[in-house]
Amino acid sequence: MSNLILIIDFGSQYTQLIARRVRESGVYSVVKSNNISKKELFNLNPAGIILSGGPDSMTLKKKNNLSKNILNANIPILGICYGMQLITDFFKGKVKSSQKKEFGHAIFNVGKSSKLFYGLKKGKNLSVWMSHSDKVVQLPKGFESLGSSSNTKFAAMHNSEKNIYCLQFHPEVTHTDNGKNIIENFLFRICDCKKSWTTKNIINDIITNIKTQVSNKKVILALSGGVDSTVVAALLNKAISKKLTCIFINTGLMRKNEVSEVKENISKKLGIKLITIEASTIFFNKLKNIQDPEKKRKIIGETFIRIFEREARKLKNIDFLAQGTIYPDVIESSSTGSKSEVIKSHHNVGGLPRDMKLKLVEPIRLLFKDEVRKIG
- CATH class of the domain comprising 4-190: alpha beta
Give the per-residue pLDDT at 370: 94
Contact 221, 233 (CB under 8 A): yes
Give the per-residue pLDDT at 338: 35
Paired strand residues for 369: none
Contact 353, 309 (CB under 8 A): yes
Numbered ranges of CATH 3.40.50.620 in the chain: 199-375
pTM over 0.85: no
Give the per-residue pLDDT at 337: 36
- What CA–CA distance (Å, rounded) separates 301 from 229? 16
- Give strand ranges (E) for 205-272: 218-223, 244-250
Query: What is the b/e burial string over 313-344, where b = at least 16 CB atoms within 10 angstroms of the residue's CB?
Result: eeeeebbbbbbbbbbebbbeeeeeeeeeeebe
Numbered ranges of CATH 3.40.50.880 in the chain: 4-190
Distance of CA 147 to the CA centre of its chain: 30
Q: Is 332 annotated as catalytic? A: no
43, 44, 50, 53 alpha-carbon torsion, rounded to 10°: -80
- What CA–CA distance (Å, rounded) separates 278 from 99? 63
Which one of 81, 191, 193, 246 is the catalytic residue? 81
Contact 334, 33 (CB under 8 A): yes
- What CA–CA distance (Å, rounded) separates 27 from 20? 10
Which one of 102, 170, 193, 362 is the catalytic residue? 170
HSE-up of 60 (CA within 13 Å, CB side)? 10
Which one of 102, 172, 184, 371 is the catalytic residue? 172
Task: Give me the chain's average pLDDT, please.
Answer: 88
Below-50 pLDDT ranges, the chain? 335-352
CATH number of this structure's domain 199-375, picked from the four choices 1.10.760.10, 3.10.350.10, 3.30.70.100, 3.40.50.620: 3.40.50.620
Residue 43: Cβ within 10 Å count: 9
Give the per-residue pLDDT at 342: 39
Name the 3-class secondary structure at 356. helix
Give the per-residue pLDDT at 62: 67
Q: Closest Cα to residue 191, out of 17, 368, 26?
A: 26
Q: Closest Cα to residue 359, out of 306, 308, 323?
A: 323
- What CA–CA distance (Å, rounded) separates 172 from 17? 7
Q: Is 175 annotated as catalytic? A: no
Q: Is 172 annotated as catalytic? A: yes
